[in-house]
Each structure stands twice: as C-alpha cells, then as structure tokens.
Amino acid sequence: MPNTISGFSKLSKSEKIDWLLNTYFTDKDSARTLVQRYWNSDKKLQKLHDEFIENTITNYYLPLGVAPNFLINDTTYAIPMAIEESSVIAAASKAAKFWLDRGGFKAEVLATEKIGQVHFIYEGDFDKLNAFFTEVKPKLISATAHITKNMERRGGGILDIELRNKTEDLPNYYQLHATFETLDAMGANFINSCLEQFANTFKTESFQFKGFNNTEKNISIVMSILSNYVPECLVRAEVSCKIEDLKSKDIPNPEVFAQKFKQAVSIAEVEPYRAVTHNKGIMNGIDAVVLATGNDFRAVEAGVHAYAARHGKYSSLTHCSVENGIFKFWIKIPLALGTVGGLTSLHPLVNFSMEMLQKPSAKDLMKIVAVAGLAQNFGAVKSLTTTGIQEGHMKMHLMNILNQFEATEAEKVKLVEHFKTNVVTHSAVVEAISKLRN
C-alpha cells in the first residue's frame, strides 16, 4: 500500500523526519525548517522531551499564562494556566479580582478515594463464587504487599476490595471492585499494578478452591484497569457574599444580577444543550491548570463529564442560590490529581508551576483546580447575563486576527485603539486592516 512504512519506530529521529517530508510534503525545506525551529536548543532538555512519548519529531507547545489574585482559604495564589484559547486567563483573573474583596474562594476536599476494577467472566453458581471471594480476599491483599509497602508507609494503600455481580448488565460478568488511597500521587501505575496482581492471584487460587467444579474453575479474566471515574474523590469550592456587595461597575443593580445569574445556572441544570457548553467553560479553567501542573487532563475530563451525568441526565457542574440576602455559587467535582511522580518530577515547567503554587499537596491542588473552574464559570455566566460573551471574547481574539493578517506592531497599536470603541468581528477587523493599509 502507498504511504505505509514498516519499522517506523525503529528509525532515528532524523530518519523519521526524512520519511515524513519525502512522503507527504511538497515544500520539504520549509517543513524541515518549521520542525527544527521548535526544537529546544538545550540538547539535554530536548532529549527529555523526545523521551516523553514515542516517535517524536519536534515539540508542540502552548502558551503558559498566569491568573493572579486568587484568594483561596485565606491564601493568595497566582495560578499557572496552559491554554491557547483567547480570554480564558483574562476571565479567570477578572473573577479572582472580583472575589478578592468579597471574601475570596473557599474550598474543601470531601474525599480522596480512587477506584480500580478486575473484570472477569464466571459461568457458575454465584454463592460459590461469593464463598471463594470471601476466602481469597485476604490473599489478594497480601499478594500485593511488595507493591503497597511504600504507599502504606506514607499512609495510603488498598482500602477495600468488593465482589460485584454485574450479570444483569452482561451475562456472566463480575468485577473485583477495589478502592485505593494514593495520597499525593495520581496513582495510575500503582493501582494498575495492584489490579494485575489481584487478577493473577484470583485466577491461580480459583484452581485450588474445592467448592468449584471444573467448569466454575475456568474463570476468564477480561482486563484489569483503574477507572477515571472517581465519584468518591471529590472537592467542593464556593464563593458567597451579601447580594448588595455584588455591586460593581458592570453590576449596577446587584439584585437583578443575582436573580438573572441564578436563572442562567438553573437553565444549565435542566437543559443538556446548555449544560455541555456551560461545563466546557468550567473545563477551560480546570484543563489549563491540570495541564500546567503535569496532570492528565483527558482523565479529568472523562471523569468530570461522567459525574455531570450521574443522575441519568447531563447537567451543570455548578450551582447557585440566592437566599436570605446571600448570593452563593459553588461547584462539586471529582478530581484525581497528583503532585509527585510522572511529569510532575520530569518537566521543568511543571516544577516551575508547582513552585508558583507554593508546592501544593494533591489535596491543595484539587482545591486550586476546582476554584479555577468555578472562577472561569463565574466570569462566563457574568458576561452572558450582562454585556454578552462576545464583547470580551472578541476583544481578546482581536490579536489572533491581527496576527493572522501579519499586522505590523504599528498597525496593531492603531487597530487595538480603534476597537476600544468599536465592535470586534472578523469582517470588521479585515475591513479596518484594509482601510489602514490603503
């Protein structure tokens, strides 16, 4: 077949690039220059980046920005955010400053339990399987002692293992459902190692169990894997103040604002089409901090969205109340994060971000990330219910449009000034550039 290759992973970096350029690019020199432009001049650092993943050819980086003035539980933070989308950091910073003089953000970790499962098929009597599980459970835990030793020394480890009957969902399907405490580590490798040991021990011991007949001993292990759905690894963050204290330059009537804001959140609670966009805005803030601190934003996304649909209908992750003269806005989400291991100990900018955050524990980081999501959502809903989302967003997007048309620095100064008093749209910017150049 054309454009296929065998043994690509065994090629050197330069050989991989040569093959790609010769196979897919017409202007090979320009493509090669682009690839090499993003290499790090520090060869040791570049080698580190090359070894993060497979088949690397260059680096693809995002801007790392900072949202300052976050008062969280009476401690002030400047929060690092790695993201490419215009206005996210501006909105977070604006929300942080808004709440700075209104008591700041309050956050607490509600639980830190993580989950892993051994999925298996068993064709036999459930009572016999349950009797076997009761007998083998202590052996499952003892067989992992070499894995859990260091984690237990720090106060973590295996919390429990349950046998779960899932045959109503799928014929002959059962689980070993295990819970873990991994402290400051995200714990994926630790959990998966424990699960694979559980599976091996469970399978081996089943052959020795006298209560099984020959068919029942033929337990089939399908897979052993952690879950990124962590509904018992929860953090809550909130802001609150007297309704009259909401008054500001863009909130001249705080009572009207509070009611309208609450209505907007209520709509996201009952309307999935709105809830998805509402929660996407929350994840703008969460993902940016998760990425900046070297954590797995894909795992966080999957777990958070599953949590948003836990009642059978996708709904808002944030909630609002206006009662007894008090405005309250809060979020409760599952976050499995780590501050040791993985990229947190390898990537120099992750270390930089962690130091910026005052070297947080995993629990501290959970609070910071939840607050970033709440702040982002507050900024978005505030804009939607007052000036509209496009006014602020398009002003931030202006620079992207100007760069797209390769505006000079002098042109940028004039056009930024022009759009301080004019509505920013793509067509309006194109027209303004054309007029300026003519």
- From the list 280, 305, 395, 418, the catalytic residue is 280
Tokens 């980046």 appear where? 49
Residue 178 to residue 162: CA distance in whole angstroms: 6
* DSSP conformational letter for 10: G
The answer to whether 306 and 335 have CB atoms below 8 angstroms apart is no
Would residue 280 show up in a list of annotated catalytic residues for this protein? yes
CA distances from 424 to 393, 412, 432 (A): 9, 14, 10
Q: Would you say 322 and 46 are in contact if contact means Cβ atoms under 8 Å apart?
A: no
C-beta of residue 339 within 8 angstroms of C-beta of residue 362: yes
In the residue annotation, 85 being an active-site residue is answered as yes
E strands present in 40-139: 64-72, 75-82, 106-109, 114-121
From the candidates 196, 238, 296, 364, which is the catalytic residue?
A: 296
The Cα-based distances of 310 to 109, 144, 236, 276, 330 in angstroms read 20, 32, 17, 14, 18
216 catalytic? Reply is no
> Taking CA 32 as the corner, what is the angle to CA 30 and CA 38, rounded to the nearest 5 degrees?
105
Active-site residue identified among 119, 347, 393, 397? 393
Is 42 tagged catalytic? no
Q: Kindly report the number of other CB atoms within 10 A of residue 164's CB atom.
A: 11
Q: Which of 18, 50, 85, 216 is catalytic?
A: 85
Is the distance from CB of 262 to CB of 322 less than 8 angstroms?
A: yes
**Contact criterion met (CB below 8 Å) for 366 and 109:** yes
Catalytic machinery residues? 85, 280, 296, 393
